[in-house]
Amino acid sequence: MTLGVTLSSTHRQLPVDATVGLAREAHGAGLHSAWFGQTFAYDSPTLAAIVGREVPGLHVGTAALPVFGRHPLLVSSQAQTAQAATGGRYHLGLALGTRHLTEAAFGLPYQRPVGLLREFLTALRPLLDTGEADFHGELLTATTPYSAAVPGARPPVPVLVAAMGPQALRVSGELADGILPFLAGPRALAEHIVPAVTAAARAAGRPAPRIVALVPGVVTADPEGLRQRAAEALALYGTIPSYQRVIELSGAEGAAGLAVLGDEEAVAAEVGRYRDAGATEVVFTATDLGGEEARRRTWKLLGELSGGPSAGSLG
């Protein structure tokens, strides 16, 4: 199992050069991947492409681009450019987003989200594989009068979806390479999420999907004190129905109850629980909540658990 960290989020926006510096530190610690959330600030595929090119060997990913307000042709161009720039180390994450942000920010009705996801993935897949598309759906159209292939964008960009609900998991298993569940604890993964997406992939004749679990976590000597800060940082997710559901399925009282906080032994044990629940990769988020010393301890542990700089690869 490979391990990574997020380097940007809604509460952490750094200058590009500072982000590159952090990515070098993460790679030096033995981490395999760095992921970038899509906010209203940086364009995450562009930032990932810059970081991946500046830090050879580090895999980079977007977690995740909402499909509302975007088009498969444009996303394909972004993803393929990032793939070519990084030498095949880019991973595209997509998401349904939320009703509030979709309607308030984009002015778009949040209608038939799973249907849109299915059509988006159906149109996007051939674009990434061959540079060609001829898709006419109910919700979108994507056609290529000439090739949309980007030279050097090989292997084809892997596509993951931030899916946790039954319908989104079914679509992701059929059409994507894996999923990016956030705030889904080991119980929810093992009993609900992994079986559903794996069964959908098997029924579609696809390989077993990647399960990239995004987990808020920090190595700290003060877990209870830090849990209050985690509760504040994660408060928004407790108001979103899809997260409320998965938090409940995980057996937690709130989002902060899923934060992995403790010393090295305790955090390592929790990483093992995610692995046993079916996660193929674990990406720690919010590692800066405890300050710089705690972040460095966290990254050092994760690097050691993943086997150091020379161990394994994603994909």
Task: Note the pLDDT of residue 308.
Answer: 64
Q: Quick check: 268 and 276 in contact, CB under 8 A? A: no
256 lies in some domain? yes
Give tens-digit pLDDT for 121-136. Answer: 999 999 999 999 999 9
Q: Please report whether residue 38 resides in a domain.
A: yes
Model pLDDT, residue 247: 97
In percent, the amount of the chain with pLDDT more than 70 equals 96
Q: What pLDDT is attached to residue 105?
A: 86
Instruction: Look up residue 42 and give its amino acid.
Output: Y
Rounded to an integer, the average pLDDT of 40-56 is 95
Q: What is the per-residue pLDDT for 282?
A: 98
Average pLDDT over residues 247-266: 97
Strand pairing report for 90-95 and 159-161: parallel
For the ranges 40-44, 72-76, 183-187, 191-195, the lowest mean pLDDT is seen at 40-44
pTM value? 0.94
Q: How confident is the model at residue 164 (pLDDT cuts 50, 70, 90)?
A: very high
Supply the pLDDT for residue 287.
93
179: number of Cβ within 10 Å: 27
The dihedral region occupied by 294, where left means phi > 0, alpha psi between -120 and 50, and beta the remainder, is alpha
pLDDT at position 309 over 60: no
Whether 311 is in a domain gets the answer no
Residue 285 to residue 9: CA distance in whole angstroms? 9
Residue 12: band (very low, low, confident or very high) from pLDDT cuts 50, 70, 90: low
Write down the pLDDT at residue 96.
96
- Left if phi > 0, otherwise alpha if psi is -120 to 50, otherwise beta: which for 97? left
Q: Is the pLDDT of residue 293 over 80?
A: yes
Q: What percentage of residues in the chain have a pLDDT greater than 90? A: 89
CATH number of the CATH domain containing 269: 3.20.20.30
Is a pLDDT exceeding 50 seen at residue 313? no
pLDDT of residue 100: 85
Provide the domain count of the chain: 1
Contacting residues for 238 by C-beta, under 8 A, at least 6 apart: 244, 247, 254, 255
Which domain covers residue 85, as residue numbers?
2-305
Taking every pair of C-alpha atoms in the chain, what is the biggest distance, in angstroms? 59
Buried b (16+ CB within 10 A) or exposed e, 251-267: ebebbbbbbbbbeeeeb
pLDDT in tens, 80-127: 999 999 999 999 999 998 888 888 888 989 999 999 999 999 999 999
pLDDT of residue 11: 56
- Residues 202-254: pLDDT tens digits? 999 999 999 999 999 999 999 999 999 999 999 999 999 999 999 999 999 99
Given a cut of 50, is residue 175 above it in pLDDT? yes
Is 310 inside a domain boundary? no
Does some domain include residue 296?
Answer: yes
Residue 312 lies in a domain: no
Q: Flag whether pLDDT at 169 surpasses 60.
A: yes
Q: What is the rounded average pLDDT of the residues 22-44? A: 94
